[in-house]
Amino acid sequence: AGPGSRDYVALEARYGARNYHPIPVVVERARDCLVWDVEGREYIDMMGAYSAVSHGHLHPRLVAAAQRQLEKVAVTSRAYYGSTLGPFLAKLCSLAGFDRALPMNTGAEAVETAIKCARRWGYRVKGIPEGQAEILVARGNFHGRTSTIVGFSSEPEYRAGFGPFAPGFRHFDFGDMRSIEATATPQTCAVLVEPIQGEAGVVLPPPGFFAALRQWCTANHVLLIDDEVQAGLGRTGKWFAFEHEGIRPDALILGKALGGGLLPVSAFLADDEVMQVFDPGSHGSTFGGNALAAAVALEGLRVLEEEKLVERAAQLGPYLMRKLQDVQREAAPLIRDVRGRGLWVGVEVDPAHASARRLVERLAERGVLSKETHETVIRFAPPLTITPALIDRAVDAFRSVALQR
């Protein structure tokens, strides 16, 4: 027999940096919502690569789009125009309702793009003295792992030993308008915020917070920058999570699912008044907007639209949530809270009764992949192509794990 799961785990443990703590499942193949390990064991993917696999693994239309593009050209850099980038940007702008989009690769890069844009806008449009612009960010935020971004994390684990960090960020309490007002200064150029705090454990904003924040930003000439890297593109049951709040941000950050589960594709979107601060030479990325990525991302947007995957998240999300709430009742007092929006659910366990990590590992033994967050929350973000039958199977496995602890 060839190498088995243990061998691959050992290789990563020997040659990889130790910056992750994976569940001991070695995924070798995947198709739609199912994955298989090296020994051929089947798992339901209830994690969807943190919302990057919203179309299901290896969606046939996306694979076909990639294959077609691979007959033509994959990468040229932005030194030239291409025949896939323009159509992708046009589709993205029309779906999201912004004038322009700037393509990058990872979520963190698109967030960095937003930070640069917001500061320049602060100097050139708002008139903040150069070098003094400040951006408000929420406590509990997660926007990526670059040193600028972890510099304004409130999580010691992400920051310890990595300083010095970039100045120019101030913290407010997520969901608290008074905290925004108390934190802002005349140098505030932007509020950078997730519509739902994913990595913090699927933390929803209180009703009305975003409407009030929108009003405050407009009144104070401050950009509202919405990081929907995890929340966007149907995850919450609407195309964009800001739609639940009845607002429109000044700028939008997308990533993860934008690459159709095949490639890293991210984007920063804004209207002319904001995006015009970027002029030739001011920003870029060798791979951002490459021909292959743009072809796949465009097809990914069409698939979301034509297969009505956003509507599907809106229908099946409450179904998943109700079933998990049933387990909450049956396994009381193990589970403190079941919360979420669309196909994005966090199950918070009481640490006095169980460890989320242990539950996630035992769930994997029963053929369901999920992920713990911050020791107490188990996160479910399956592909939007998930079916009621697979949800039933996944929740049944979760029920047995929860009851047998």
Per CB under 6 A, residues contacting ligand PMP are: 50, 106-108, 111, 142-144, 194, 198-199, 227, 229-230, 255
**Does residue 73 contact residue 290 with C-beta atoms inside 8 Å?**
no
Query: Between β-strands 134-138 and 188-193, what pairing exists: parallel, antiparallel or unpaired?
Result: parallel
- Are the beta carbons of 331 and 402 closer than 8 angstroms? yes
Active site residue 227: yes
Catalytic residue among 88, 142, 209, 210: 142
Phi, psi of 36 (to 5 degrees): -130, 140
Q: Which of 45, 226, 227, 250 is catalytic?
A: 227
345-349 and 377-380: which strand pairing?
antiparallel
Q: For residues 188 and 230, which CB has a smaller minimum distance to ligand PMP in the complex?
A: 230
Q: Coil, strand or helix: which one is 106?
A: coil
Contact 310, 304 (CB under 8 A): yes
Greatest CA separation found in the chain?
68
User: Min. distance of Cβ 111 from ligand PMP in angstroms?
Assistant: 6
Give me the least distance between CB of 267 and ligand PMP, in Å please: 12
Instruction: Using the minimum distance from each CB to ligand PMP, give the nearer residue, 108 or 402.
Output: 108
Smallest distance from ligand PMP to CB 325, Å:
25
Which residue's beta carbon is nearest to the bound ligand PMP?
107
How far is residue 378's CA from residue 360's CA, in Å, rounded to a whole number?
7
Which is nearer to ligand PMP, 55 or 143 (by Cβ)?
Answer: 143
Cβ-based nearer residue to ligand PMP, 111 or 269: 111
Shortest Å, Cβ 107 to ligand PMP: 2
Query: Which residue lies nearer to ligand PMP by CB, 137 or 354?
Result: 137
Cβ count near 254 (within 10 Å): 29
Kindly give, in sequence order, each residue whose CB lies less than 8 Å from that of residue 319, ignoring residues fewer than 6 positions away: 388, 391
Of residues 91, 126, 238, 256, which has the active-site annotation?
256
Minimal distance, residue 214 CB to ligand PMP, in Å: 19
The secondary structure of 131-180 as a DSSP string is T--EEEEETT----SSHHHHHT-S-HHHHTT-----S-EEEE-TT-HHHH
Assess contact for 203 and 196: CB atoms under 8 A.
Answer: yes
Q: How far is the CB of 116 from ligand PMP (least distance, A)?
A: 15
Nearer to ligand PMP, 108 or 356 (CB): 108
Known catalytic residue at 398: no
Active site residues: 142, 227, 256
